[in-house]
Structure 1
Amino acid sequence: MLSKSTDAGEGNQVRPPTFGGLLRRLRDDRRISREKLAFAAGVSSSYVTHLEGGDRDHPTKAVVTSLIAYLDRISPLADAERRHLFDLAGLAEETFPGVPQLRAEISDDMRNGLRLHEPNVAGYLDTRWNILSCNEAYDATFPGLVEDANILRWFFGNALSKRVMVDWRREAALTVDWLRGLIGQSGDTAWSAELLDELGEYPEFRTMWAAGRTIYGRDQPMHIRDLDTDECYSLDVQMFRVDSGNYPGRVQFFLGIRTSCPATVPTTESFGS
């Protein structure tokens, strides 16, 4: 039988989760003594006692990694348990994972879900606007984007974007301003330097970036031109952050519901900078 967490409280008292409470439960579930866990992690048994008692809520990343490594050897932790330990220790993931790592987070069920959204446009993106996975409707709506791999690279480096986006300048500026907000949300902004260096090669990007605007979402539909039929239609776009097990908040879900286009929409030529 699994042990009860020390966070459970007694009677009607319910306590918030703590690093020490979770560590003790995971240790008890594996029937490991404090002494054995401490020795394996390279710390003293009294230190483990203090951790479990809540006297030391913020162990170092090296200590938490060592504790997890030994617990894993006895019985592997679930991804959620591993993440929760780091979160409770105040050691949430700070480094930005690469595209291959994030693509590996997109499960077969998630990909199957994208297909179920057809004919609506659906895809998973990271918070640097890289395409992780998408359905056929997404690929057809934004020709060349999957090959370019990054939305901003497509906007500024692919001539098709100006033909597809009826109001290209507004959409490009919105995405640039949103990127600024996403960079700030990440906490560590160093990862963005390489991407900004690449995008800085495009004069239109530099102009939009220099405007210094920041947004955190959108409140207008996206107006699209079908290059095969020259038909204009709208996408009511919704964006959701995905609470991924290993990289929480690093993945976004894009859903575009196709609707008819208004009789008059702003165009690239009529939209002011």
Structure 2
Amino acid sequence: MTIDARIDNDNGALAVPTLGPVLRAVRDSRKVSRERLAFNAGVSSSYITHLEKGARERPTREVLDAIIRYLDRVVPLSVEERRQLRDLAGLTATGCPPLEELRAAVTPEMRGLLDQPLPAAITAVGGHVLACNPGWERAFPGTREGVNQFHWLFGCEYARRALVDWEAEVTLSVQAFRVAVGGFGGSETFTELLDELSRYPEFRRIWGGGGVATVPPMWRIRLRDLESGTERTVLVQTGMVHTGPYPGWLVSQYLIPVPC
């Protein structure tokens, strides 16, 4: 296995999304002036200016809701845009536990969920594989406990071969990660991970596009067996693990075969 391909160290570090630039991008995309937004949100234009420049503290829930309501009337916001704005404003953010504590939070009962014929894994927000069974490792050659899924997607030689629709899968993953980063306040954990991932030109390209998405609880992907070359379609089922000391930080994932 090789996880150092397609790396470019000449580019600068990627920035963690913050409220100001995201708000300005949403406002500009609707061709709404600061003055017009301020009037309809019940604040001053200087407030919007300072907010977009990051020169003032996060807005209250009431102010942000007023901003979102007006922008939504001009052009409806997507679910992802709404969530990102609220997350970056700190209205849904939670503290980020160290990765070591997340690993320790995987209880024997959680690991028992992996004792089944279906490929399964327990991951952390940010893509770290905390536990997985042999079926998962066979489905995604090169993955194992301790591997980050983003490093596998962009740096492992097997990823492009195993994922038939590699471009679509990585685009969804990166855009969903943009939303998740906002939900945890641009913590140091994600800042460090972003710095690592910025070495991959493909990651930089997708991240730089600014798109956001949410991963549905179940979606189809096509996998290729690297030995036989045969392809199959499976359903990926995900769910938040709400037990243990860090509810919402652990994610269960299963691969369900789709009948031919």
Q: How many aligned residue pairs are there?
A: 168
Could you tell me how far apart the structure 1 residues matched to 2:252 and 2:119 are? 11
Deviations 1:213-241 (A, max 9, x none): 11111364011001122110112111111
Equivalent residue letter for 2:257: R
CA distance in 1, matches of 2:128, 2:104: 14
Deviations 1:127-160 (A, max 9, x none): 0000000111101111112167101100111110
Greater shift in the superposed pair: 233-242 or 157-166: 233-242
- Unmatched segments (≥5 aa) in structure 1: 1-91, 262-273
Unaligned 5+ runs, structure 2: 1-91
Partner Cα separation in structure 1 for residue 245 and residue 181 of structure 2: 19
Is residue 236–residue 254 contact of structure 2 (8 Å, CA) maintained in 1? yes
Aligned positions of 1:124-203 closer than 5 A? 124-146=122-144, 149-203=147-201
Moved more, 239-248 or 205-214: 239-248
- Cα gap change, 1:145 to 1:233, in 2 (>3 Å): same
Residue 129 of structure 1 aligns to a residue whose secondary structure is: coil
* Structure 1 stretches of at least 4 aligned residues deviating more than 6 Å after TM superposition: none
Would you say the 8 A contact 2:122–2:130 is kept in 1? yes
Q: Secondary structure at the match of 2:114?
A: helix
Whole-angstrom distance in 1 between the partners of 2:185 and 2:192: 16
1:182 deviates by 1.1
Report the CA distance shift for 1:213/1:242 in structure 2 as closer, same or farther (over 3 A): same
**8 Å contact from structure 1 (residues 244, 250) kept in 2:** no
- Distance in 1 separating the partners of 2:147 and 2:236: 20
Instruction: Report the CA distance shift for 1:189/1:203 in structure 2 as closer, same or farther (over 3 A).
Output: same
Q: State the Cα RMSD in Å.
A: 2.0
Cα drift, residue 108 of structure 1: 1.4
Matched, 1:114 2:114: yes
Q: Distance in 2 between matches of 1:245 and 1:260?
A: 35
Query: Using the alignment, how far apart are the partners of 2:134 and 2:220 within structure 1?
Result: 20
- With over 3 angstroms needed to count, the CA separation of the structure-2 counterparts of 1:165 and 1:183, relative to structure 1, is same
The alpha carbon displacement at 1:260 in A equals: 4.7
Q: TM-score, normalised by structure 2?
A: 0.60
**Could you tell me the TM-score, scaled by structure 1's length?**
0.58
Q: Partner residue of 1:231?
A: 230
Q: Distance in 2 between matches of 1:246 and 1:138?
A: 25
Q: Is the 8 A contact 1:95 1:188 kept in 2?
A: no
Residue of structure 2 equivalent to 1:251: 250
Identical-residue share of aligned pairs (%): 32
- Contact 2:181–2:190 (Cα < 8 Å) also in 1: yes
CA deviation after TM superposition for structure 1 residue 188, in Å? 4.6
Q: Alignment partner for residue 121 of structure 2, among 120, 123, 139?
A: 123
C-alpha displacement at 1:190, in angstroms?
3.9
For 1:98 and 1:142, how far apart are their aligned partners in 2? 26
Code of the residue aligned with 2:240 in structure 1: it is R
Q: Could you tell me how far apart the structure 2 residues matched to 1:94 and 1:215 are? A: 20
Contact 1:200–1:206 (CA<8 Å) still a contact in 2?
A: yes
Whether contact under 8 Å (2:96, 2:187) holds in the other structure is: no
Q: Helix, strand or coil: the match of 2:182?
A: helix
Task: Encode CA deviations 1:232-271: one digit per residue, 9 max, x unaligned.
Answer: 011211111111331121111111102257xxxxxxxxxx
**2:115 partner SS:** helix
Higher relative contact order (CA 8 A, sep 6+): 2
Report deviation, 1:203: 0.5
